[in-house]
């Protein structure tokens, strides 16, 4: 049995820190032969649209546009990972609370490592807003590699 995971979950949000996390995941993949799964979590529809009284068509248009943009982003990220030598497996688009969706997907896939970027929020910001990476570290079933800028 290898000490390296066979599956890595890269959680990304398009930030600079997430791009650095992708580079780290590629290096780990190249060194260990691990496959990379890339996850992007859209905000829940109520967060994306708000609680305004939009028509059904308007809501579907906004949600559909956000999903198409997220799918395009995931496809580009997957292409970069493959071009950089990472062993790309699948992309996963989820909707909801990012930390909970990342953790749920990691369990479903049986990954051995989660790689995630962190903006390095100060203590006050973390206390007020919470931190996705901190929550993932705290609740994950496997090791979590947090990449900071």
- What is the reported pLDDT for 61? 80
Tokens 């947090």 — which residue? 146
What are the pLDDT digits (tens) for 27-54?
999 999 999 999 999 987 777 666 566 6
Local structure of 145: helix, strand or coil: strand
Could you say which DSSP state residue 84 is in? Answer: T
Helix, strand, coil tally for the chain in percent (to 5): 50, 20, 25
- What is the reported pLDDT for 57? 76
CB 70 within 8 A of CB 11: no
- What is the reported pLDDT for 128? 47
- CA separation for the pair 86, 29 (Å, rounded): 5
Q: Is the pLDDT of residue 59 over 80?
A: no
Confidence of residue 131 (pLDDT cuts 50, 70, 90): confident
What are the pLDDT digits (tens) for 1-34?
456 779 999 999 989 999 999 999 999 999 999 9
What mean pLDDT, rounded, does the chain reach? 87
Please report the domains of the chain, with CATH numbers, ordered by start residue: 7-148 (3.40.50.620)
What are the pLDDT digits (tens) for 87-102?
999 999 999 999 999 9
């Amino acid at each position: 049995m290898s000490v390296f995971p066979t599956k890595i979950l890269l959680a990304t949000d398009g930030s600079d820190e997430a791009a650095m996390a992708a580079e780290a995941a590629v290096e780990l993949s190249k060194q260990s032969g691990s496959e990379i799964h890339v996850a992007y979590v859209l905000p829940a529809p109520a967060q994306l649209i708000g609680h305004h009284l939009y028509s059904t068509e308007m809501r579907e248009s906004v949600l559909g546009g956000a999903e198409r943009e997220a799918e395009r982003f995931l496809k580009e990220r997957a292409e970069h990972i493959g071009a950089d030598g990472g062993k790309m497996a699948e992309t996963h688009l989820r909707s909801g609370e990012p930390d909970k969706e990342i953790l749920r997907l990691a369990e479903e896939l049986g990954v051995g490592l989660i790689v995630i970027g962190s903006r390095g929020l100060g203590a006050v910001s973390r206390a007020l807003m919470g931190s996705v990476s901190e929550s993932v570290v705290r609740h994950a079933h496997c090791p979590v590699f947090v990449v900071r800028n």
